[in-house]
Amino acid sequence: MEDSIDPFPWLLFVSSDGFSLSIILSLLATLVLLFCSAMVSGSEVAFFSLSTRDKQELEESKTKGSDSVLKLLERPKKLLATILITNNFINVAIVLLSSFISQQIFVFDTINLGFIGFPDVIIDSTLQNFLLNVIVITFLILLIGEVIPKVYATKNPIQLAELMAFPFIILNRIFHPLSIILVQSTTFIDKRYKKKTDNISVDELSHALEITSDQSNSSDEEQKILKGIVKFGNTDVKQIMTPRIDVIAFDINTQFQELLSAIVTSGFSRIPIFEGDFDQIKGILYIKDLLPFIEAKDDFNWQTLIREPFYVPENKKIDDLLEEFQERKIHLAIVVDEYGGSQGIISLEDVIEEIVGEIADEFDEDDLVYSKIDDFNYVFEAKTPLKDVYKVLDIDGENFEESKGEADTLGGFIVEISGKIPKKNERIKFEDYLFTIEAADKRKVKSVKITLNDYSEEDDSGQNKGSDLGKVVSIVFLMATLGLGLMSCEEEAYTPKPRSFFRIDLPHHEYQQSELSCPFTFEYSTSSIVNTKETEGQPCWFNLLYPKLNATVHFTYFDVDQDSIFKYAEDARSFAMKHTVKADDIEESIIYDTSANVYGTIYDFEGSVASNYQFFITDSTQHFLRGAMYFNALPNPDSLAPAEAYIKQDLLHLIESFSWK
C-alpha cells in the first residue's frame, strides 16, 4: 500500500539546531546590507534631483562635501553607473544571504495542494525556499532599500548627497573598469538604437525634418516654415504675446489732438484703449476709423469709434486662436490671466510669424532683439521670448524648459534660476551657458550676454594651459613685488593722488537764430557751427558741429504727407532703438506744442552707446525733421558726461525755440 501524503502539512518548521554563530553573523550582515542598499538608492535620487539653485548653494558653501558632490556631477553617467553597480551587488548579496539563512533556520516539507482543490499539485522544499525569498526579501528590499530612502532623499537631497559624496568617490575608483564598460555600452546603444513607434512625436518629426533637410533641395526658408508648422500646435498664447509692459495703449480720457500726436509716434494701426489702468480695457481703436476725422477739433468725441475687445486666455493654443481670428475676422486680441487681469496683446501677425518667420512691414522695428558677437557670444534683450533664444542659438531648449518655471522670456528665466534680480555685470552659470548681465535696474533685467561653453572638452591639455597660466601669474606677481620693493627705497613717503580726469572748459550757453533757407527756424548755440557743405543736394540736411567738444548733431529733413509721415516716424524710432542693446536705460519724452504746431519724440539714452540723444519733430501734416547727436570718440559715459549734458541742454533749447515758417 502506497504511503499517503498528509494534505494539511505545516508549511515550514523551525530547525531544532538553534541559531549558530554563522546564522547570527549572516543576519547582522543582511541588516547592514539593507541599510547600505537604502543609502545607495537614496543617493541616486539625491544626486540627480539637485536643482540649479541647489547647485549654486553647494558652490557657495565651499565645504569638502559640497565640492565632492559637484565633482561627481561633472560626470553624471559614470556616477549613475557606479550607483547601479553598487546597488545590484548589494541586492544580490542580500538575496544570497537570505537564502542561506532560510535554509539554516527553516525545515521545508512537501506540500500537497489537495486541501484547496489541487490534489495533483505538490510543492517541494526547493520551491518553498524560492517563494519565501521572492516574497519576503523582495518586499524588504523594496520597502527598506527603495521606497523609504527615496522619499527621504526627495525631501533632503543636499544633505544626503553631501553625506554620500565621499563614499562614492571611493566606489568610483573601485568600480571604474565596470562603470566605463557600462557607460560606453549605453552610449553606443543611444547612438545606434532607434525606437520605432506608430505615433510620431513632435520631437521625432522635427528630427526627421533636420535629417531630410540635408538630402532635399528645399531652401532654408522652407525648412523654417515646416519646423514652424510642426511646433505650431504646441505653442501657447503666452509664449508669443506682447507683454503689457511693451504695449502702447491710451486712456479713454485722452484729448483728441494729444491722441493723434501719440498715434503718429507709435505707428500702429490698432491700439487698445483703457480706463484708469491697463486691466480695464474698454476696446480697440482702429486708426483707419480716425482718418475721416483727422482735421477734427480737440473736443471731438473719438471714444465712439472704439470697437469691442476680444479676450483670450494666456494658455490658449495659437492654432485654436488662429481659427477664432478667422471666424471673427479680427486681427488683435487682449490676453488675460486666470484672474482676469490683462497680461498683454496678441495679433494675427504674431501667430502667422510662428510659421513663416518674421514679417517686416513699414511699422516694424528694424532693430534686432539680439546681437551676435561671434560664434560663442550673443547679446539678447531680456524680454526676448525663450523660444526665440532657442532658434538663434540653434538648440532644442529642453534643459531650459525643465528649469524655467513660469518664465517665458530670457530675463524671467535668469530671475528664476538665480532666485533674485541680478545686478549689472553679474555672471550666472547654467549648465553649458554663461549669462552676463549687460543692463539691469532694480525691477528687471534689460539685456544679457550669453556665452556658450563646452565644459565636456576640459581635459589634460586644459589643465596644462591652466598650469602655464599659473606660472605667468606667478612671474607677474614676483615682478610686481620687486617693483614695490624698489619703490619703497624712496626716502619720502609716497601719497597717492585721487583719480582725476581732464577738465573740460564748457562755455556759457548763448544762442543765435538760424538762417537756413528751409521751412523752419530755431535757435542754436554760439559754440556750434551750422554746416551744409557735406549735404549738397539736400539744402535742409545739415550738421551742427561742436569743434571744441568733438561732437556733431546730424539733421535730416523730409517733405511728408499723410501716407509717409508714419514711415518716417517709425524709421526715427527704429534708428533710436538700435542702441538699446548697449544702453543701460532709455527715456522717451513727447514733444507736444500746439501753439507752434510742433510734435515729436525725444530719445535720451544712458550708457556706452554711439548716440546718446536723438529726436524728431513734425507738424503732423507736411514737415519732418530728425536729429541725432554723435561724438567723434569712443563712447564712455564717465568722461563724456559733462559734454553730453552741455549739448543736451542746447538741443532742448533748440526744440523749445523751434517753429515752422
Q: Are residues 328 and 470 in the same domain?
A: no
Terminal CA-to-CA distance of the chain, rounded, Å? 136
Inter-residue contact 309 to 282 (CB < 8 Å): yes
DSSP per-residue string spanning 63-118: -HHHHHHHHHHTSHHHHHHHHHHHHHHHHHHHHHHHHHHHHHHEEE--EEGGGGT-
Q: Are residues 312 and 440 in the same domain?
A: no
Q: Are residues 409 and 558 in the same domain?
A: no
Flag whether 7 is in a domain.
Answer: no
Q: Are residues 440 and 473 in the same domain?
A: no
Q: Are residues 222 and 321 in the same domain?
A: no
Judged by average pLDDT, the poorest of 105-109, 500-504, 534-538 is 500-504
Highest average pLDDT, of 58-62, 309-313, 504-508, 546-550, comes from: 309-313
Residue 61: which pLDDT band, with cuts at 50, 70 and 90? Answer: confident
Highest average pLDDT, of 108-117, 339-348, 390-399, 583-592, comes from: 339-348
Only one residue has cell 593722488, namely 497
The overall longest dimension of the chain from CA atoms, in Å, is 139
Inter-residue contact 371 to 378 (CB < 8 Å): yes
User: Is the pLDDT confidence value at 627 over 90?
Assistant: yes
Q: Are residues 284 and 423 in the same domain?
A: no
Q: Are residues 417 and 481 in the same domain?
A: no
What pLDDT shows up at residue 74?
A: 87
Flag whether 492 is in a domain.
Answer: no
**Mean of per-residue pLDDT scores for the chain:** 79
Flag whether 380 is in a domain.
Answer: yes
Domain boundary among 131, 165, 191: 191
What pLDDT shows up at residue 285?
A: 92
Domain CATH code at residue 400: 3.30.465.10
The candidate with the shortest Cα–Cα distance to 87, out of 177, 187, 167, is: 167
Flag whether 5 is in a domain.
Answer: no
Domain CATH code at residue 331: 3.10.580.10
Question: Whole-angstrom Cα distance, residue 131 to residue 14?
Answer: 17
User: Is the pLDDT confidence value at 402 over 70?
Assistant: yes
31 to 42, 83, 93, 140, 417: CA distances (angstroms): 17, 19, 11, 10, 41
Domain boundary among 356, 380, 415: 356
Q: Are residues 149 and 241 in the same domain?
A: no
Inter-residue contact 576 to 603 (CB < 8 Å): yes
| Higher local confidence (pLDDT), 469 or 79 | 79
Inter-residue contact 398 to 388 (CB < 8 Å): no
Judged by average pLDDT, the poorest of 360-369, 443-452, 611-620 is 360-369
Residue 20: which pLDDT band, with cuts at 50, 70 and 90? Answer: confident
Residue 632: which pLDDT band, with cuts at 50, 70 and 90? Answer: confident
Pairing type for strands 270-275 and 250-251 reads: parallel
- Arithmetic mean of pLDDT, 621-629: 92
What pLDDT shows up at residue 436?
A: 92
Domain boundary among 332, 356, 380: 356
Q: Are residues 160 and 306 in the same domain?
A: no
Q: Are residues 533 and 617 in the same domain?
A: yes
Chain CA centroid to CA 554, Å: 38
User: Is the pLDDT confidence value at 267 over 70?
Assistant: yes
What pLDDT shows up at residue 123?
A: 63
User: Is the pLDDT confidence value at 117 over 90?
Assistant: no
- Arithmetic mean of pLDDT, 550-556: 92
Q: Are residues 16 and 136 in the same domain?
A: yes
Flag whether 176 is in a domain.
Answer: yes
Only one residue has cell 554723435, namely 630
| Higher local confidence (pLDDT), 229 or 491 | 229
What pLDDT shows up at residue 101?
A: 80
Total domains present in the chain: 6
What pLDDT shows up at residue 637?
A: 57
Domain CATH code at residue 571: 3.40.1000
Q: What percent of the chain has pLDDT over 70?
A: 75
pLDDT tens digit sequence for 27-57: 898 899 999 989 998 988 889 888 888 888 8
pTM of full prediction above 0.75 = no
Flag whether 499 is in a domain.
Answer: no
| Higher local confidence (pLDDT), 522 or 231 | 522
The candidate with the shortest Cα–Cα distance to 256, out of 296, 292, 288, 286, is: 296
Judged by average pLDDT, the poorest of 9-13, 187-191, 516-520, 589-593 is 9-13
Highest average pLDDT, of 130-144, 188-202, 270-284, comes from: 270-284
What pLDDT shows up at residue 500?
A: 46
The candidate with the shortest Cα–Cα distance to 173, out of 71, 64, 93, 32, is: 71
Judged by average pLDDT, the poorest of 83-87, 151-155, 233-237, 643-647 is 233-237
pLDDT tens digit sequence for 337-386: 888 888 899 998 888 887 776 665 544 554 456 788 888 889 998 888 88
Judged by average pLDDT, the poorest of 123-132, 339-348, 379-388, 440-449 is 123-132
309 to 251, 255, 317, 331, 573: CA distances (angstroms): 15, 21, 19, 11, 28
Flag whether 156 is in a domain.
Answer: yes
User: Is the pLDDT confidence value at 1 over 70?
Assistant: no
The candidate with the shortest Cα–Cα distance to 261, out of 565, 476, 613, 550, is: 565
Judged by average pLDDT, the poorest of 243-257, 314-328, 448-462 is 448-462
What pLDDT shows up at residue 418?
A: 87
Judged by average pLDDT, the poorest of 89-103, 228-242, 538-552, 603-617 is 228-242
- Arithmetic mean of pLDDT, 259-269: 84
What pLDDT shows up at residue 130?
A: 74
Residue 443 belongs to domain spanning:
370-455
Q: Are residues 318 and 301 in the same domain?
A: yes
- Arithmetic mean of pLDDT, 445-465: 62
The candidate with the shortest Cα–Cα distance to 550, out of 650, 638, 644, is: 644
Element (H, E) at 347: strand 342-347
Residue 469: which pLDDT band, with cuts at 50, 70 and 90? Answer: very low
pLDDT tens digit sequence for 214-223: 555 556 666 6
Flag whether 607 is in a domain.
Answer: yes
What pLDDT shows up at residue 16?
A: 47
